[in-house]
């Protein structure tokens, strides 16, 4: 299995809703990432988990709450979002967090979030 | 500041033609450079990855080159197909730091027309 699976593919929520995005990989990767991507822009790093521990939080607002229940799963809990949070949310994984040449980010297909 | 600049911003070509996309970077130190293809509304898919010592890497009709001295890379697409229409993103990673801290270019949007 060489895939990163994200659910749901599409999510529409109101500003008072609580929802979650889910990400799963079975490649034995020990690093997992959340990215946010606006239209026609490159992905922006939000969070990095390394060996199930949060290692990087790129000053993301607390209305986004990541969770890594185990080495294969990564969640992003959403609460009290704003319309400007509407974007494509990408999950990625890699063998670990080193920047070595063999360490390629494998991305999921993304979850398209719309906040009304 | 680490930067990755891609050109052109967008490109339209006819099916069957070749094209070359450019990537210039100022990331230092340098570990590897990757080209990704991203279809609209989908996640990026890795095409090639090159380290400092590699000058060229091919993946089917895609050939990437790297000049680490001038800090330039190119992605050449041969005999383009309609399915090549996508955004192509150049991503550069520095040595021994978090892979997630890679620097992404803004991408080149390629449209292949019949």
| pLDDT tens column, A31-43 | 999 999 998 899 9
The per-residue pLDDT for range B8-36, each reduced to its tens digit, is 999 999 999 999 999 999 988 888 899 99
Residues of chain A below pLDDT 50: none
What percentage of chain A's residues is helix, strand, coil (to nearest 5)?
5, 55, 40
Contacts of B44 in chain A (CB under 8 A): 43, 90, 105, 107
Q: Which residues in chain B are closer than 8 Å to A41, comparing Cβ atoms?
A: 106
**Is B59 in CB contact (< 8 Å) with chain A?**
no
pLDDT at residue B111 is higher than 80: yes
For B10, the closest chain A residue by CA position comes to A40
Residue B51 — pLDDT band, cuts 50, 70, 90? Answer: confident
The dihedral through the CA atoms of A92, A97, A101, A103 has a sign that is negative
Comparing B1 with B98, the larger pLDDT belongs to B1
For A105, the closest of B99, B106, B107 (CB atoms) is: B99
Q: Does the beta carbon of B86 lie under 8 angstroms from any beta carbon of chain A?
A: no
């Amino acid at each position: 299995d060489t895939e990163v699976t994200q659910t749901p593919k599409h999510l529409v929520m109101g500003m008072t809703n609580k929802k979650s995005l889910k990400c799963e990989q079975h490649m034995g990767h020990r690093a997992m990432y959340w990215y946010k991507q606006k239209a026609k822009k490159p992905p922006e790093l939000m969070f990095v988990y390394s060996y199930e521990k949060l290692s990087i939080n790129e000053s993301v607002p607390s209305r986004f709450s990541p969770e890594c229940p185990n080495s294969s799963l990564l969640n992003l809990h959403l609460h009290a979002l704003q319309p400007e949070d509407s974007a494509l949310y990408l999950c990625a994984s890699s063998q670990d967090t080193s920047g070595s040449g063999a360490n390629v980010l494998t991305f999921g297909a993304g979850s398209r979030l719309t906040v009304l | 500041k680490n930067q990755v600049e891609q050109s052109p911003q967008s490109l339209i070509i006819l099916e069957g033609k070749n094209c070359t996309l450019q990537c210039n970077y100022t990331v230092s130190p340098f570990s590897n450079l990757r080209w990704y293809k991203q279809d609209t509304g989908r996640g990026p898919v890795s095409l090639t990855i090159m380290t400092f010592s590699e000058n060229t890497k091919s993946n089917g009709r895609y050939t990437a080159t790297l000049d680490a001295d001038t800090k330039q890379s190119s992605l050449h697409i041969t005999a383009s197909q309609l399915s090549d229409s996508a955004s192509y993103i150049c991503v550069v990673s520095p040595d021994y730091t978090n892979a997630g801290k890679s620097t992404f270019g803004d991408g080149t949007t390629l449209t292949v027309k019949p």
